[in-house]
Amino acid sequence: PKRIWFSRHGESLFNLEDKIGGDAGLSPRGEQYALKLPELVRQNIGDRPLTVWTSSMTRTIQTARHLDFPKKQWKALDELDTGVCDGMTYDEIEAKYPDDFARRDEDKFNYRYRGGESYRDLVLRLEPVIMDLERHENILIISHQATIRCMYAYFMGLSHEQLPYARIPLHTIIELKPKAFSCEEKLYHIDV
């Protein structure tokens, strides 16, 4: 690929309550991000043809809503499935499943949520997306924190230990330009 752009969805109503999982829509701030995204994308992309890939979840589809480019939805880009912890805050998870919470802290890459996924599972799920990404030019992916960590780690050569802690800030486009052995990286933040 010539260039890849990653963005998390705009702030969601669940983000505001510190809840994980779910299929919430955007908060007013998240909606502001979605509105400002087209201008930033146009500044960076110019006349190059662009395709936008989203997950199948409401918050990424809403974030892409104002972008006037061909779009594709991938179920494989959906957020890490947190199983029985879906809809809970981290404090609630720690109180209800203290052993799991500790185990996750010890080995975040391999920890699999009860009835859900691990980062290792996610890396496998994302393999077809990454293969397709390798064959395309100029793709903007609007997805989620955990999924972007996996794709970012692939292109930046991060280890399994580093991957689950990669910093993927909200309301920021991460641009990767593949070079011989790694990628050149640029961040564009939108203040909303």
Name which of 105 and 185 has its Cβ closer to ligand G3H. Answer: 105
For the segment 151-180, give every residue that binds ligand G3H (CB under 6 A).
Answer: 164
20 is a site residue for ligand G3H (CB under 6 A): yes
CB of 77 to ligand G3H, least distance (A): 13
In the shown chain, the binding pattern of residues 53 to 92 toward ligand G3H, with x for contact by CB under 6 A and - for none, equals --------------------------xx-x----------
Interface with ligand G3H, residue 146, by CB under 6 A: yes
54 or 82: CB nearest ligand G3H: 82
CB of 147 to ligand G3H, least distance (A): 8
Query: Are residues 61 and 77 in contact, defined by beta-carbon separation less than 8 angstroms?
Result: no
Residues labelled catalytic: 8-9, 15, 59, 79, 144
Q: What span, in angstroms and rounded, lies between the C-alpha atoms of 26 and 34?
A: 9
To which H or E segment does residue 98 belong? helix 98-106
Residues 6+ apart with CB under 8 A from 87: 14, 19, 20, 21, 22
Task: Evaluate whether 59 touches 26 at the Cβ level (below 8 Å).
Answer: yes
Residue 126 binds to ligand G3H (criterion: CB under 6 A):
no
C-alpha–C-alpha distance, residues 146 and 108, integer Å: 11
Identify the sign of the CA torsion 130, 134, 135, 140. positive
Residues engaged in binding ligand G3H (CB under 6 A): 20, 79-80, 82, 144-146, 164
